[in-house]
Structure 1
Amino acid sequence: MNNYSYLNGFILLGFTDQPQLEKTISGVVSFFYMIALMGNIAIILVSLLDIHLQTPMYFFLRNLSILDLCYTTNIVPQMLVNIWSQNKRITFSGCIIQLFIDMILCSVECMLLAVMSYDRYNAVCKPLHYMVVMNPKLCQGLLAMAWLIGIMNCMILSPYAISLPRCGNHHLDHFFCEMSAMIKIACVDTTAMEVTTFGMCLVIVLVPLLLILISYGFIVVAVLRIKSAIGRKKAFGTCSSHLIVVSIFYGTVIYMYIQPGNSPSQYEGKLLSIFYSIITPSINPLIYTLRNKEVKEAMKRLARKEKGS
């Protein structure tokens, strides 16, 4: 029943029913993709090259930038090719690779944002022991745990979505190979698959979010105990960028995948997917650079060093 998909792949419909909107979206996506590339590459290079940024916070920030870079690159090039080409087809193997990468990276980002909140908790609540607690071995272990959970989540859900019979239907109503779009074209009852997917989303999204809220609860208490207004501002300033990124990412993902009541329409879902998979990764480096004095100072030092050489 799936032979057609194996031989001819899938057709990504995207926004083909609205050609004018499709062209506008391609321009917006191209613009934000360039920002995502430049911003995330800049953060990766600066955090690697500047000795002052060799701390746990920037270790995790660098890995977040690598994730965002891979996440957008997994989706955008294929999306732009499909928009500007008459051929909207993606090979079966290309679709599966895109689905696997999307599932893994999205899950890892949920975990990584929770790990970063734990790092901020230690920086604010245990400043004297921060470098001892957040030692390189623990940081690498937390990162490895995030990747392991992301891969396990992908290995549980993706094979089921791939193996669902489609009875010759190979038109995906999306601009990339996304889990819910693949489930919707199945020609069998997918209730069990949808319940499993919803359950995994609850675990992958809400458990890290709960850990983030607990961490920031302790941070708020610690900040309020600081008598100096300048000290409170400085302590909260180290967390504000991460809090903004968490709010944008989790707000969009929760609204799309685990909101109570009716889920978003397929059209609304596609627009939301563009936001959290393309626009958000381009906003992240701007938030961390424009609101972070250490990163801006590091960029100035590297620019002066480049001029001097």
Structure 2
Amino acid sequence: MSLLIKNVTKTYPNGVVAIDNLHLEISKGMFGLLGPNGAGKSSLMRTIATLQTPDSGSIVFNDFNILDHPMKLRKLLGYLPQSFGVYQKVSAEKLLDYFAILKGVASKKDRNLIIQRVLELTNLYDVRKKYVSGYSGGMKQRFGIAQLLLNNPKLIIVDEPTAGLDPAERNRFLNVLREVGAENTVIFSTHIVEDVKELCTDMAIMNGGQILQKTIPSEATNAIKNQIWTMTIDKKYLLSMQEKYTVLSSSYNEDNSIRIRVHSLEKPTAEFESVFPNLEDVYFIALKKSNQ
């Protein structure tokens, strides 16, 4: 179940090039699409979901061009957009039944079985009688996963699903997504590096409508081994350090000093210490190169 995106371009009427001659191949499993806000991730997700048409290019899933056969793709698709609304004063159970009817599940018995399964998978069965509008943010996101599973999708797209969730809700949501991703092609679009690190076996970094790097998280960090250096400085020297070195990130210490992480092929000065790279380092290196 592979997805091949080839030479896809999308320019909006205001002149913004959201997707710029993009090429990407995604295989079965959890795929992380990592990039800052405004990178073009949501535009790409909407295009794959056939909610908008690109200006050029092709998108092939399971040997058919989804741009030529959008309805065929929608039968195989589960989509959780960045934000979605729910009806007021309707329980999760009733709302899922309504969505199942819309997705073509005619038999009441079949709908009941499917709804019970997705509620249990998303840990919402005990609150199935409650109004979805009264759910917490994390519960609403898990309900979003429940509704997209009603048609047993083969391609699942989730766009910025953990934004705004507290740590406990985020963990519960990611655990649900792990189970879902075991047997499907799942595209996880996010600007949160930690989500990709915890969840995805394959990933790409996107900015400016283009794919900057496609890699495996562990291989990406190994590729910059012995290239990441750290040093504590007085905050008044931060600007000069940024001008002199490739500073990837900085964080304050308790004494108000700053710990910086620098990318360099060689040790910058004797004061720097070598540290093992992380996925955030990989991400910032790619973004800095794209902005040069």
Structure with more strand by fraction = 2
Q: Which gives a bigger RCO, structure 1 or 2 (Cα 8 Å, sep 6+)?
A: 1
Structure with more helix by fraction = 1
TM-score by length of 2: 0.25
